[in-house]
């Protein structure tokens, strides 16, 4: 596909609700990719207290904490996006769909900031 065709294809999708769909889907994929790492980390506990504590100490480093905040934002994005879709499907229609998208994004960012403030404090 030529670059011009890709630009045209994107233009037809450049609206808030499509973007929300895309972010919801990509955040889900990213979280699914993270799951094996999560289970591996939990698996440290089976090898004994020291192994888990060692990992948790490593996870307390600032850069890892920062990456963890990204993960928390992903979770919050996926949660808020899921609630938004459930609201569309199970509640009477509301015309403020763009506001719902903005509120979902705001919620996810706020959760991320709170996590970072908590980690710094």
Partner 1 sequence: MPADGGTLEVRVWRGGAEGRYVPYAVPRRQSQTVLDAVSYIQRHLDASLSYRFACRVGMCGSCAMTVNGKPRWTCRTHVAKVARGGALTVGPLRNLPVIKDLACDMAPFFDKWAKAEGRFRPPTEPARDFVPVRPASPARQAADAGIECIGCAVCYAACDVVAANPDYLGPAALNRAWTLVNDVRDAGQRERLAAVAGDAGCHACHSQQGCREYCPKHLNPTAAIAGLKRVTARAALKGEI
Residue spans of alpha helices (H) in 44-96: 49-59, 62-90
For residue 111, give every residue at least 6 positions away whose Cβ sits within 8 Å of its Cβ, in sequence order, or none. Answer: 72, 73, 75, 76
69 or 84: whose CB is closer to partner 1?
A: 84
Q: Nearest 5°: CA angle at 90, between 10 and 82?
A: 50
23 or 75: whose CB is closer to partner 1?
A: 23
Report 96-115 residues binding partner 1 (CB under 8 A).
Answer: 97
12 or 121: whose CB is closer to partner 1?
A: 12
Contact (Cβ atoms closer than 8 angstroms) between residue 31 and residue 81:
no
Report 72-91 residues binding partner 1 (CB under 8 A).
Answer: 85, 88-90
Report 7-26 residues binding partner 1 (CB under 8 A).
Answer: 7-13, 15, 17-18, 21
Contact (Cβ atoms closer than 8 angstroms) between residue 31 and residue 75:
yes
Contacts to partner 1 by CB under 8 A: 4, 7-13, 15, 17-18, 21, 85, 88-90, 93, 97
């Amino acid at each position: 596909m030529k670059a011009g065709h890709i630009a045209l294809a994107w233009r037809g999708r450049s609206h808030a609700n499509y973007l929300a769909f895309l972010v919801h889907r990509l955040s889900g994929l990213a979280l699914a990719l993270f799951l094996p790492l999560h289970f591996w980390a939990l698996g440290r506990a089976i090898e004994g207290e020291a192994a888990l504590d060692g990992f948790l100490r490593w996870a307390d480093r600032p850069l890892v904490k920062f990456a963890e905040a990204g993960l928390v934002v992903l979770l919050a994005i996926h949660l808020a996006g899921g609630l938004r879709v459930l609201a569309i499907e199970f509640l009477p229609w509301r015309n403020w769909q763009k506001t719902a998208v903005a509120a979902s994004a705001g919620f996810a960012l706020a959760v991320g900031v709170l996590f970072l403030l908590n980690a710094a404090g």
